[in-house]
Structure 1
Amino acid sequence: MQLTRYINTLGNDLKTRYGEKVHKLTLHGNFTCPNRDGTLGRGGCTFCNVSAFSDESQALQSIAVQLTSRASEVQHKAKKYLAYFQAYTSTYAEIEQLASLYQQATLNSNIIGLCVGTRPDCVSAEVLNLLSSYVLRGYEVWLELGLQSANDKTLKRINRGHGFGEYQSVCQKARARGIKVCTHLILGLPEESDKDYQRTLQQVINTGVDGLKLHPLHVVRGAIMEKSWQAGRLKTLSLEQYSQSVVSLIRHTPAEVIFHRISATAKTEQLLSPLWCEKRWPVQNRIGQLLHEFGGQGSAL
């Protein structure tokens, strides 16, 4: 199913603007998180075990080695890349360290921009100024903010360590500097329903946003949520439930917002539930079928 017929995807947007395919290269900057190291808390968000989604061995390699390795894996698909600092909180370090890491990434002539994944409460004015300096030099810069939900009660329930207000503030400041913001949202969080998802989407859109990433809630080994799931107190979404909820959100999203992702997977050996998240294509295909049937991005506005 060709999702670009129904969704404004990042891949298609980049190809249109740069005249060729652009691929994200995932990097590990050896960061940690204030919600894990004791600054805000320990154990992290209740859904979190980063090793289920990232390659921890990468952190032992230099940025140059990581880029070379990742590029070799996808060079048959693309020759231009975005350097994507994904694991943990990729702005949670001294500004000198961040400047060094971002500089190392952009020394590669095939890197056309930066994607930086982080928390809304870990983006200082210094960080925004640093990222803005790359915008001014012509780089594509995306600040990926893990929000998950706009409901402060939900954020407290999952031990997020920040509220929606922090997200709003940094989002507006980043966009004012020309930095594009991609917001991560999780569907299936405890005690949330379609009404909550729609409310979160509307609040994010009202704040102003350039891109979205949608994820189903995963239960992975080592996360705090594992105990609740094992005890039967936590249910995850079925493939059909998730697909229908995602399609509703897509149909209520303005056409100019770019979707970076509409689902996600986790490592099979660490994934507990839902098991359909082991594979990418079944849910992608079902979402495509529903969009074909009910209408694509923005059709419900």
Structure 2
Amino acid sequence: MTLLPAAPLPIKRPDRQITLADRVHTFGQFMLERHGRRIHKVAINAGFTCPNRDGSKSRGGCTFCNNASFNPNSKQIPPVTAQLESGRQVIRKRTGAHSYLAYFQAYTNTYADVEYLRSLYDQALAEPDVIGISVGTRPDCVPGAILDLLAEYKDRDFEVWLELGLQSCFDETLRRVNRGHGFSEYRQATRAAHQRGLPVCAHLIAGLPGETAEHVLVTLERVLDEEVEGLKLHPLHVVKGTLLANQWRDGEYEPLTLSAYIAIAADLVERTPPHVVYHRLTGTASAYLLLAPDWCVYKWRVLNGIEKELRVRGTWQGALLETQGLPHK
């Protein structure tokens, strides 16, 4: 069951230059169409840990996750309302926006009991200019009771997204990077979410150790087979304080080049149905933590490269699917 309406792509706009949002069903455009105004995400760190860190499944986290940046002392983390206010001030000054989505982003944001999660989510949704929540978590950390909680908010007409960090459909890859879960957990979580009418955004990483562009395409295919409403794609970052950083220094891992990543992103976009919303097509890393690839700090350079690649190909989101016709000339 598709939870979101299809977007007509591409959009022929002779009055101005075609942009990435004309070729890709972006989250910003989706929210504008859905709510009639710009909605911006405000990232929240609610002080969660992860079962891959605390010993429940493993210790040390994923091989690409920065251990030094993790601080288990939640008392040092500002309250949800304070983070929302500071984030809104920055966004409002930059864009003039007045409506927001609270994005519980850092680590596993369902890794607690239901009532504690309710208290956190309620704090965010009590703000008059917050229209919903987006909750990032692991596929193995969304029991039915928590999905029921998220469904409650959706039934109250809040915008609700469940963001699942899959990264790859290949269990061998997931073991290699010490994810602590497999594709079966993602499948189970997605189906349970859909049973409750919750939209799912799957996180995918291009450039994982041992994977090629073909692996990423297969992951997309399997994710689409399970039905998905949103996608986030970003390149694998090599950051300080990680096992991946050691592997990179030892010559055991080579990150993607910018051109390779752009080609992969364009390949995925062409194979993605138009109704699926791209929440992100790249991801940046802090310059003081990033070791490689150095182009990851230049968000717009990457996005402009993807738009140019699609333009050169004469394609758009879903262009290679059998249900699509030829692009506008």
TM-score range, shorter chain: over 0.9
Are 1:146 and 1:184, in contact at CA under 8 Å, matched by a contact in 2? Answer: yes
Work out the CA distance in 2 between the residues paired with 1:71 and 1:114.
Answer: 14
Instruction: Return the match for 1:184 from 195, 200, 203.
Output: 203
Is 1:3 aligned with 2:15? no
Matched, 1:292 2:311: yes
Q: Which amino acid aligns with 2:244?
A: M
Which residue, out of 224, 240, 263, partners 1:221? 240
Contact 1:144–1:182, Cα closer than 8 Å, also in 2: yes
User: Cα–Cα, structure 1 residues 162 and 59, in superposed 2: closer, same or farther, change >3 Å?
Assistant: farther
Q: Which residue of 1 aligns with 2:261?
A: 242
Q: Which residue of 2 is the match for residue 65 of structure 1?
A: 82
CA 1:116–1:241: 2 relative to 1, 3 Å: same
Other-structure match for 1:21? 38
The one of 241, 253, 258 aligned to 2:272: 253
Match of 1:200 in 2: 219
> Could you tell me which of 146, 154, 157 is aligned with 2:165?
146
Q: CA deviation at 1:159?
A: 0.5
CA distance in 2: counterparts of 1:179 and 1:50, whole angstroms: 31
Deviation at 1:118, TM superposition (A): 0.2
**SS of residue matched to 2:307:** helix
1:35 alignment partner AA: N
Q: For the residues of structure 2 that align with 1:17 and 1:88, how far apart are their CA atoms? A: 28
Q: Residues 58 and 66 of structure 1 are in contact (CA less than 8 Å); yes or no, is this contact kept in structure 2?
A: no
- 1:52–1:266 CA distance, 2 compared to 1 (3 A): farther
Alignment of 1:33-52 (within 5 A): 33-49=50-66
Range with greater deviation from structure 2 (177-186 or 59-68): 59-68
Q: 1:152 to 1:16 in 2, by over 3 A?
A: same
d(CA) in 1 for partners of 2:24, 2:34? 16
Q: Distance in 1 between matches of 2:274 and 2:107?
A: 30
Query: Residue 242 of structure 1 aligns to a residue in which SS?
Result: helix
Q: Shift of residue 172 of structure 1? A: 1.1
Residue 66 of structure 1: how far off its partner (Å): 0.9
Query: One-letter code of the match for 1:253?
Result: T
Which has the higher mean CA deviation after the structures are superposed, 239-248 or 68-77?
68-77
Q: Which residue of structure 2 aligns with residue 137 of structure 1?
A: 156
**Residue 128 (structure 1) aligns with:** 147
Gaps of 5+ in 2: 1-17, 322-329
Is this contact kept in 1: 2:23–2:316, CA < 8 A?
A: yes
**Cα 1:46/1:247, change in 2 over 3 Å:** same
Deviation at 1:29, TM superposition (A): 0.7
**Deviation digits for residues 244-279 of structure 1, max 9, x if unmatched?**
011001100000000000001100011000000111
**Contact 2:229–2:277 (CA under 8 A) maintained in structure 1:** yes
Q: Per the alignment, in what secondary structure is the counterpart of residue 122 of structure 1? A: coil
TM-score by structure 2 length?
Answer: 0.88
- Answer yes or no: is the 8 Å Cα contact 1:52–1:271 preserved in 2: no
What CA distance in whole angstroms lies between the structure 2 residues aligned with 1:223 and 1:298?
Answer: 36
Q: CA deviation at 1:81?
A: 0.6
> Displacement of 1:139 after TM fit?
0.6
Shift of 1:50: 6.9
Moved over 2 A (4+): 50-54, 56-59
Deviation sequence 1:217-258 (CA, Å, 0-9, x none): 110001111110010110000000000011001100000000
The structure where helix makes up a greater share of residues is 1
Gaps of 5+ in 1: none
Distance 1:199 1:157, change over 3 A: same
Distance in 2 of aligned mates of 1:134 and 1:51:
34
Deviation at 1:58, TM superposition (A): 9.8
Query: Taking structure 1 as the reference length, what is the TM-score of the superposition?
Result: 0.96
Of the three residues 7, 21, 29, the one matched with 1:12 is 29
Contact 2:67/2:241 (8 A) holds in 1 = no
**CA–CA distance in 2 between the matches of 1:126 and 1:216?**
33
